[in-house]
Structure formats: structure tokens, C-alpha cells
A = this chain, B = another copy of it.
Amino acid sequence: MQNVRFPIRVYWEDTDAGGIVYHANYLKFMERARSDLLRQLGFGQDAQRDRDDGVLFVVASLNINYHRAAKLDDDLEVVTRLEKLGRASLIFEQNIFRGKERITTGKVRIGVIGARSHMPTPIPDDLYEKIRPWAEA
């Protein structure tokens, strides 16, 4: 998969009294980028919540390294690459940059669960087929 770039502007809500972005908020930035990818593939997460055969993407594990601190008004970019596509899981590499500077590097494992059952569930075929060629790029 080619890298997909998602822009983030840093607002007051994202910062803390240290004058920098609060560490947990980078996870929100990463999630926005993943949700945007799904939306671009035509996958509406909200609609899935109400369908009997709906699926949800949940974070199964995550690790993140903090290299530099982002600040108020910063113009960041989340760079996302699908590292591995399984039948009921995905692994993303997601790094955050300010220009050329690496702010954080991270890896996120996503599990797919039934919206009703909350049990592990394969990715629906049509979505899987949309993700696959792109994963192989």
C-alpha cells in the first residue's frame, strides 16, 4: 500500500499545560486518518452500527514512540501504510510528521468484530476486495 497522508491542525483542545500536544491525543489523530481511509473506500462506520451484519473496527493493540513534541497551531500529517491485511485483522503503520520532522511513530493492530455480537468476524467480502489491491500496491 502506498502511504496515505492525512492533515491535522493542532488546536487548544489537543494541547496540555506542558505547552505541547497531550500524548494520548496522537491516538486520536491516528484514528481520524484510519476512519478517513475507510470512508474513502465507501465504508460508512456509522451505518454499520445499526446493521445486523455490521462490523466494527476496534483497536486490539497499539504501540507508539514519541520523538518530538507537536505544539499549538502546528500543521501535522499522519502518514498511514497498511502493513498487513488479514481476514479479520489489519496492521497499520502510522507515523506523524511536521514537515520532514518525525513527531511520533506507531503501529496499530485492528480487529474486526460484529457490531451486534462483538465477536471476531471476517471483513465483509466487498470491503476486503476494495482494500486488497490497495494493500498490495
B12-A18 in contact (CB<8A): yes
Main secondary structure of the interface of A (DSSP, over half): mixed
Q: Which residues of B contact A22 (CB under 8 A)?
A: 12-13
A126 CB to nearest chain B CB (Å):
18
How many residues does chain A have at the interface if contact means C-beta atoms less than 8 Å apart?
41
Contact with B along A53-73 (1 / 0, CB 8 A): 000101111111110010111
A45-B73 in contact (CB<8A): yes
Are A65 and B61 CB-contacts (below 8 A) given A12-B22, A16-B13? yes
Are A31 and B12 CB-contacts (below 8 A) given A62-B23, A63-B61? yes
B66-A59 in contact (CB<8A): yes
Q: Which residues of B contact A73 (CB under 8 A)?
A: 35, 39, 44-46
Contact with B along A63-88 (1 / 0, CB 8 A): 11110010111100000000000000
Q: Which residues of B contact A16 (CB under 8 A)?
A: 12-13, 15-17
A130 CB to nearest chain B CB (Å):
17
Which residue of B17, B32, B65 contacts A19 across the interface (Cβ within 8 Å)? B17
Task: List chain A positions with a Cβ less than 8 A from chain B.
Answer: 9, 11-13, 15-20, 22-25, 27-28, 31-32, 35-36, 39, 44-46, 49, 56, 58-66, 69, 71-74, 118
Q: Name the 6 nearest CB pairs between A and B, nearest first.
A: A63-B63, A15-B17, A24-B27, A46-B72, A23-B59, A61-B65
